[in-house]
Amino acid sequence: MSTITTTTTATTTAPSPTGSSAVGASPRSGWRAPLATLARRRMALSARTPREILVPLMTPVLFAVIIAPALADTLGGTVGGIDYMTFVAVSTIGLLVPLSCLSAGLGVVVDRLGGAQRDMLAAPIPRPLIVAGNLVVAVFLSGLQLVALVGAAALRGAEFDVRGTGVGWFVAAALCFAVAMYGVAETLANRIPTQEEYIGVLPAVAIVPWFVAGSLFPIGALPVGLTAIAKVLPLTHVLALMRYGLVDPTGAGLHDIWGMDDPTAMAVLSLAVVVAFAVAFAAIAVRTFSRTAVR
């Protein structure tokens, strides 16, 4: 009698991933998980120690709590009805945000030269999300530093007029400016071949415009040619909006740019300039990254 042995092979089919468990599974939610992962990675690299958050604050805080009060005591008086110390304290934000965002761009150079960028490009995620993850962290860290700077200036004696709508103008200007400056940083980081060259470019991009944009005095005090240049600089509009929001309800800084009588209308125009700058450089950053990534 023969024995017949029958072997049955079972094939187990794993269920298809759905929802947020698969990248790209849902048009609405598929980008969130990779964006969060990329942002966490950049945060871990950019803010591993408190020093990496506090060091970029040193120069702006020096201006806000030491140099601005010293200038106010030396020069005295006000600028357009604003206490001079408060005037300069707001101006330091225009120094802090570019320095912070451009410093964040250095991490992109390191990723590109060190090979980490190739690993991210191999992942099944849209390339713009890599830029977006870096952007989220850069804007977040800039925001933390901005809050610390404003707090330090207030403790030192800066006089802020905090109103609901004013805070809205201030936050909108600061957010758009941070997005724009990180767009500049990402673009430069993907175009400049070495870390040394990137560091060499940083002062020219982050600091030089600050002296022309009405940071230490109204733009009307500049020679006519420089005044015209100042009016087209996004930083001039950012500082005028921030002062309008926190310390200058009459919009004297906005009037220096637009020459109109309605502060709200001028604020809308200046915010439109800053938004356009942010959108343009964010798009340029994504395009530059996508083009250089395939080389």
pLDDT in tens, 206-228: 999 999 999 988 998 899 999 99
CA distance 121 to 178: 25
Cα 183 from Cα 167, distance rounded (Å): 24
d(CA 14, CA 257): 63
Beta strands in the chain (DSSP E): 78-79, 82-83
Average pLDDT over residues 6-19: 37
- d(CA 247, CA 147) in angstroms, rounded, equals 16
Amino acid at 87: F
Residue 262: pLDDT over 80? yes
C-alpha–C-alpha distance, residues 287 and 295, integer Å: 13
The phi, psi pair for 141, rounded to 5°, reads: -65, -40
Which stretch, 68-77, 152-161, 169-178, has highest mean pLDDT?
A: 169-178
Quickly state the pLDDT bin for 69 (edges 50, 70, 90): confident
In this structure, of 71-75, 88-92, 191-195, 258-262, the range with the lowest mean pLDDT score is 71-75
Banded model confidence at residue 16, pLDDT cuts 50, 70, 90: very low
Q: Which residue has the higher pLDDT, 59 or 105?
A: 105
CA angle in degrees (0–180, nearest 5) for 149-76-161? 45
- For 130, phi then psi, to 5°, come to -65, -45
Could you tell me which residues come within 8 angstroms of residue 176 by beta carbon, excluding any fewer than 6 positions away?
238, 271, 274, 275, 277, 278
pLDDT class for 295, splitting at 50, 70, 90? low
Looking at residue 107, its pLDDT comes to 87
The answer to whether 241 and 140 have CB atoms below 8 angstroms apart is: no
Q: 68-75 vs 84-91: helix axis angle to the nearest 10?
A: 150
DSSP of 64-112: IIIIHHHHHHHH-SEETTEEHHHHHHHHTHHHHHHHHHHHHHHHHHHHH
Q: Is the pLDDT of residue 246 over 50?
A: yes
Q: Which residues neighbour 80 within 8 Å (Cβ) at sequence distance 6 or greater? A: 87, 218, 248, 250, 252, 253
**At residue 198, does pLDDT exceed 80?**
yes
Give me the mean pLDDT over the 12-19 stretch.
37
pLDDT above 50 (res 14)? no
Q: Is the pLDDT higher at 145 or at 234?
A: 234
Mean predicted confidence (pLDDT) in 94-111: 89
Contacts 24+ apart (CB under 8 A), 214-218: 214/91, 214/239, 214/240, 214/253, 214/256, 215/88, 215/91, 215/94, 215/95, 215/239, 216/71, 216/88, 216/91, 217/79, 218/79, 218/80, 218/252, 218/253, 218/256
Tell me: pLDDT of 230 over 90: yes
**Cα–Cα distance measured from residue 79 to residue 71, given in angstroms and rounded to the nearest whole number:** 12
Q: What is the pLDDT of residue 49?
A: 66
Given pLDDT bands bounded at 50, 70 and 90, which one contains residue 13? very low
**For residue 185, how many other CB atoms are within 10 A of its CB?**
30
